[in-house]
Amino acid sequence: MNSLLLTGGRVIDPANRLNASTDVLILNGKIAAVGKDAAQKAPREIEKSDATGLIICPGLIDLHVHLREPGQTQKETIATGTAAAARGGFTSLVCMPNTAPAIDNAGTVALIHERAARDGIVNVFVAGAISKNLAGEELASIGSLKRAGVVAITDDGHCVQNNELMRRALEYAKMFGLPVMDHCQDYSLVTSGVMHEGYWSTALGLQGWAAAGEEMIVARNILLAELTGARVHCQHLSAAGSVGLIREAKKRGVPVSGEACPHHFTLTDAAVAGSEKFWAQDGKLIYSNPQSAIRNPQLPEWPAYDTNFKMNPPLRSARDREAILEGLADGTIEILCSDHAPHCDFEKQVEFDYAPFGITGLETELALSLMQLYHAKRLGLSDLITKYTVAPARLLNLAKGTLSIGADADVTVFDPDREWTFEREATASKSFNNPFYGWPLKGRAVATIVGGKKIWAENAEAVAA
């Protein structure tokens, strides 16, 4: 059940600088051999899988996922969330602490580990809270969280506004070897904003959310990282100014990093107005809007004020989208992730002002990343895979993201050229708040292997207990 020979695929393992057509042998849940001699070392009765024409890479890691368990299982569970991850090609994920109760103590961490071992089909790592109950008023017990097994701390969904408290959090986190991941949002600037502050917020009559509300906290985090020497990771970047700040800080050697989500480098705030349309052409996304001369009758349609385009931080301008893409291409932004944030239909089926922020993303992020980065010729496959493997593993000190001999046999097999359409009825998530239903996509996971077990395959659904 946990031994397998993958043959004929193009193996891309950025950790070992490998990019070649060869074989991968998995024995007893570990990588046993990578190379043309792998087949010779395989037992005679081993299961074989032909990966000709496919990419074989270390199992993809998503370090920003909301599993909603405990306390919000009407939206998602560890079972359904990890099933969605497997379909998306992800073998490891990091769950955020904004659950009910929040993950601010060792007991809740233990509960999640227990349920993940029982119900999860991919590796589930846990991020603990920075502050008690995510309230931003008193530090959580960071040492206890570390001993309980968290891989990072964050108040994601909230942002610590007290700079002194954030400084102390960084100092403690550095002592315990934990990175601090921060949801960058200055409440005094954002106020009650629900979408990007600009032309479309004015046209739609919706409260604007200034990009400066993100950039202010990114700047704060850079200053505190420089002061304390602690590692700060800025989550779901959306603004051009944020990218510029991190680029300049990295040149000075500040220990700061950032991540980007496909919705922020695929869509803009015009989508909220139902005004931005796209279609795929040779794997690239071609955009049009009411001012464009480009037209295509096969464009997917969506109405204005569609709450599936409401997320935190919000979709921003075309300039911001381009800056995120440039930051990914030049290495300023090191990590790709989904910010998978499931909500019930009834929660989203209200006026835009009252709907919760967030969309699901585990099943579409690989395709959108391939289209916007690889097929658009902004990044090579090896560089793109690095952002889903080596980079998150390095940030979180995980023994993942590699096909080294003896490593856990977490492997993703995908076809970068597979054309498909994401349909609502095909999702494994418990929630359906995703704006990409009906979109023609290019690039898809074909098989997901965790610990040597094929937990999902394109033609076999979930194949492991």
Query: Among 339, 408, 410, 415, which one carries the catalytic annotation?
Result: 339
Place of tokens 């418990």: 430
What is each CA distance from 249 to 212, 232, 246, 252, 255, in whole angstroms? 17, 12, 5, 5, 8
What is each CA distance from 211 to 149, 195, 201, 239, 337, in whole angstroms? 35, 10, 13, 6, 20
Helix axis angle for 106-119 and 78-88, nearest 10°, is 60
Q: Is residue 339 annotated as part of the catalytic site, yes or no? A: yes
What is each CA distance from 145 to 104, 128, 177, 230, 233, in whole angstroms? 7, 6, 12, 17, 18
The C-alpha atoms of residue 15 and residue 394 are separated, in whole angstroms, by: 10
Going by DSSP bridges, is the β-strand pair 18-27/30-34 parallel, antiparallel, or unpaired? antiparallel
Q: How many residues does the chain have?
A: 465
223-229 long-range contacts (CB < 8 A, ≥24 apart) are: 224/163, 224/166, 224/167, 224/170, 225/170, 225/249, 225/254, 225/255, 225/256, 226/252, 226/254, 227/167, 228/167, 228/170, 228/171, 228/174, 229/174, 229/255
In 120-233, which residue ranges form alpha helices assigned H by DSSP? 142-148, 163-175, 187-190, 199-204, 212-228
Asked whether 150 and 94 are in contact (CB, 8 A), the reply is no
DSSP letters, 104-137, are -SHHHHHHHHHHHHHH-SSEEEEEEPSBGGG-SS
Tokens of 137: 């008023």
The C-alpha atoms of residue 288 and residue 187 are separated, in whole angstroms, by: 33
**DSSP element (H, E) containing 21:** strand 18-27
The C-alpha atoms of residue 30 and residue 41 are separated, in whole angstroms, by: 14
Return the DSSP state at 458: T
The C-alpha atoms of residue 288 and residue 418 are separated, in whole angstroms, by: 24
Rg (CA), the chain: 21
Give the CA-trace dihedral at 38, 40, 45, 51, to 10 degrees.
Answer: 40
Largest CA distance in the chain: 68
What is each CA distance from 312 to 126, 239, 372, 424, 431, in whole angstroms? 21, 12, 21, 22, 18
> What positions carry a catalytic annotation?
339
